[in-house]
Structure 1
């Protein structure tokens, strides 16, 4: 089984909670950590932007990723949300078993 850590930023705390709750309720993620606000500096449509965002750390599996990405992109208010998946190379076996046991693998 392959495990993933998905990173996504939300525009505010309410959106972060809604995204996290939906992903877990729909069994697309085992767990979502909602972090403290951060300042994101980026270029969008030719303009330099500085925006406070709420980072999400989403734990999922490779089989659940396509549905997670589609659901997250549909629910997210940004035109182009940051959705980055990183392979989890190692982890506590009991934790990774727990992650895989919570998925519907849609």
Structure 2
């Protein structure tokens, strides 16, 4: 790892049933300063096994960047606002990236409360 922010940043991947749900969750996460940014990629087709049979659904890929310290709250908010019985959401550690971008992610997701620290 080349810079101090690599170990603190997470790449978060999930799915949403449509762009409207994705936007609503993204805005709630951004308003709470839990993520630095969200990318929504429409037009995805998902195939998966559910209740013993293979299903196919149109979905929107949900990609967010956050810090490790904010991930528990990201999971809670995503699950609370998501309509699926079992929403897909995973976080991957960032192995490397541009230092300025990674610093921005950490800055944007810092706890704004006065007693944070």
Q: Which bracket does the TM-score occupy, shorter chain normalised? A: over 0.9
Structure 2 regions of 5+ residues with no counterpart? 113-117
Query: What is the CA-CA distance between 1:104 and the residue it aligns to?
Result: 3.9
1:86 alignment partner, one of 92, 102, 109: 92
Q: Which residue of 2 aligns with 1:59?
A: 65
SS in 2 for 1:16: helix
Deviation at 1:105, TM superposition (A): 3.8
What is the 5 A alignment of 1:22-101? Answer: 22-101=28-107
Aligned length: 106
Larger radius of gyration: 2
Instruction: Report runs of 4+ in structure 1 exceeding 4 Å deviation.
Output: none
Which ranges of structure 1 fall in alignment gaps of 5 or more residues? none
Q: Which SS does the other structure have where 2:42 is aligned?
A: coil
Picking from 27, 30, 33, the partner of 1:21 is 27
Report the TM-score when normalising by structure 1: 0.95
- 2: CA distance between counterparts of 1:71 and 1:51? 23
1:102 aligns with 2:108: yes
